[in-house]
Amino acid sequence: MRRGGILMHLSSLPSPWGIGTMGREAHGFVDFLAAAGQSVWQILPIGPTSYGDSPYQSFSSFAGNPYLIDLDVLAAEGLLKGGEYRDLNWGGDPARVDYGALYEHRRPVLQAAVRRLLAAPPADYGAFCAANADWLADYALFMALKQSHGGRTWQEWEEPFRRREAAALTAFRGENREEIAFWQAVQYLFFRQWGVLKAYANSRGVSILGDMPLYLSGDSADVWAHPELFQLDEALRPTEVAGCPPDGFSADGQLWGNPLFNWEQMEKDGFSWWRRRVEYQRSIYDLLRIDHFRGLAAYYAIPRDEPTARNGRWRRGPGMKLLGALGQGGGIIAEDLGFLDDDVRELLRQSGYPGMKVLEFAFDSRESGDYLPHNYVRRCVVYIGTHDNDTALGWMAHAPAADVKKAVDYLHLTPEEGFHWGLMRGAWSSVGELAVVQMQDLLGLGSEARMNIPSTVGGNWCWRMLPGAAAQELSARVRRQMELYQRLG
């Protein structure tokens, strides 16, 4: 079945309260998707973000981001009063997320809501905590400890807390019950709103495609609670960290800094932590993209104290041992971009997962992959660019002239049609089963709307769509393209 989809993170929705949320605008965007003939809404990871605001660096691989909770919904439920949040300064630019304002204001607002929630807990509150106890208890304790330490990473805590000594944790729980309960209740509020939004999307024929980062942040509840599952030394510091080697895009490579998995240890119990992780992710999304899939075939390991990624080395990943343990089932997409070799291609073939094709790479003289549409197989997901790439018009403006000319000649791009519409036509008309375009491209925005520039800190993850931009005439034009290319799904 041929389908179309749009990539836009929840944070990029309009809202008066500093960031896109799961409220009215999210439901309105579902209506836009349905009217435009789109059957897939792709979002970025929804976990709580840490320093740098990246959704790929989260405090938990299970928890939801408190920033995405809709405050108007809480007010409608009687958990907030208008004066507790409507008069606060959430930032002055509706086209950008102001993370500083969110950091300052969100916690006290949510504390007010949680006080009212816990004064008379809903009937399903206890069941939620019990069903998620295997991650929620550690996450709430981790966040409470982090709060008590001024936000410092767990590696900087006192030894009894770093090493999770039972006596120290028991004493802390006893002295900080209210703080721990706050973090648990916030997760209840998040997933209650998430469940309503997902059910509404599904009722309109829209599936939500979520994104699961391969690696975890070193400063996360997961690494703190399960250090044996990661490549850490006796002092609980990573021996090597994750990244990508130098290439035509970066002379120093990419130094991500995430701790690496201890695959040998994980294999001993049949990858139970990974099985739980993927099972959980598949329960909250309809479709799931595994980020950096090539790291399962072989991963790039960089010595801990290296200033760049130049001196790393490749190590063999778990491959089909892990994927076999995850079991069969559809709905998983492999982000198989970057440093493809025969091992990655074979792992993709054995897994049966569809891979990704990126049109901007098709015309990039630095890229050696088979991203030109005439090379596509039916079972793939086609993009112009992902959140890590420039927008279509940004790419046209800044790519080398020879690369742009190749795209113009290959796709017969014209200014009359609009270069961004021509690039989207290239994705929609391809043989790929699913074609996903960024909302920024539908709106014809340039590099100012780019979501992320890899290996940079500051200014990323901020773009927001202005109110009213997802207009009826735009949905009608997109729907016509879906009819032409038989992607109404």
Q: Is the pLDDT of residue 358 over 80?
A: yes
| Residue 379 within a domain | yes
Closest CA to 33 of 190, 284, 209: 209
| CA 119 and chain centroid, separation | 33
Average pLDDT value for the chain: 96
Q: Is the pLDDT of residue 409 over 90?
A: yes
Q: Are the C-beta atoms of 457 and 447 separated by less than 8 Å? A: no
Written as six digits, the tokens of 113 are: 């809501």
Q: Is the pLDDT of residue 369 over 80?
A: no
Q: Which long-range contacts link 244-250 to residues 24+ away (Cβ below 8 Å)? A: 244/300, 244/309, 244/338, 244/339, 245/300, 245/309, 245/310, 245/312, 245/339, 246/309, 246/310, 247/338, 247/339, 247/366, 248/366, 248/367, 249/366, 250/454, 250/455
Q: Are the C-beta atoms of 183 and 140 separated by less than 8 Å? A: yes
Q: Is the pLDDT of residue 489 over 80?
A: no
Reported confidence tier of residue 456, pLDDT bands at 50, 70, 90: confident
Q: pLDDT value at position 249? A: 73
| Residue 148 within a domain | no
| Residue 165 within a domain | no
CATH number at residue 478: 3.20.20.80
| Residue 271 within a domain | yes
Decide if 417 is catalytic.
Answer: no
In the chain, count H helices and then E strands. 19, 12
Query: How many domains in the chain?
Result: 1
Task: Note the pLDDT tens digit of each residue in 28-81.
Answer: 999 999 999 999 999 999 999 988 899 999 999 999 999 999 999 999 999 999
Q: pLDDT value at position 420? A: 98
Q: pLDDT value at position 366? A: 83
Reported confidence tier of residue 221, pLDDT bands at 50, 70, 90: very high
Q: Is the pLDDT of residue 316 over 80?
A: yes
Q: pLDDT value at position 458? A: 85
Domain that holds residue 352: 3-127+191-228+260-299+318-484
For residue 301, what is the enclosing H or E element?
Answer: strand 298-303
| Residue 99 within a domain | yes
Point out the catalytic residue in the list 291, 364, 403, 433: 291
Q: pLDDT value at position 77? A: 98
Q: Measured between alpha carbons, how far is 387 from 170 in angstroms, rounded to an integer?
A: 42
Q: Is the pLDDT of residue 109 over 80?
A: yes
3-state helix, strand, coil in the chain (%, to 5): 45, 15, 40
- Give the 3-state secondary structure of residue 108: helix
* Rounded to 5°, angle at Cα 211 from 482 and 56: 135
Q: pLDDT value at position 25? A: 98
Q: Mean pLDDT, to the nearest integer, of 221-250? A: 94
Do β-strands 298-303 and 3-7 pair in parallel, antiparallel, or remain unpaired? Answer: unpaired
Q: Is the pLDDT of residue 376 over 90?
A: yes
| Residue 178 within a domain | no
Q: Measured between alpha carbons, how far is 10 from 83 in angstroms, rounded to an integer?
A: 25
Do β-strands 298-303 and 240-244 pair in parallel, antiparallel, or remain unpaired? Answer: antiparallel
Asked whether the whole model's pTM tops 0.95, one would answer yes
Q: Measured between alpha carbons, how far is 392 from 359 in angstroms, rounded to an integer?
A: 10
| Residue 146 within a domain | no
For residue 388, what is the enclosing H or E element?
Answer: none
Decide if 291 is catalytic.
Answer: yes
Reported confidence tier of residue 370, pLDDT bands at 50, 70, 90: confident
Q: Mean pLDDT, to the nearest integer, of 358-380? A: 91
For residue 337, what is the enclosing H or E element?
Answer: none
Reported confidence tier of residue 149, pLDDT bands at 50, 70, 90: very high
What would the 3-class secondary structure string for 156-195 be? HCCHHHHCCCHHHHHHHHHHCHHHHHHHHHHHHHHHHHHH
Decide if 388 is catalytic.
Answer: yes
Reported confidence tier of residue 250, pLDDT bands at 50, 70, 90: confident
Task: Note the pLDDT tens digit of each residue in 181-191.
Answer: 999 999 999 99
| Residue 162 within a domain | no
Q: pLDDT value at position 422? A: 98
Point out the catalytic residue in the list 240, 335, 367, 403: 335
Closest CA to 91 of 67, 65, 113, 66: 67
Task: Note the pLDDT tens digit of each residue in 382-397.
Answer: 999 999 999 999 999 9
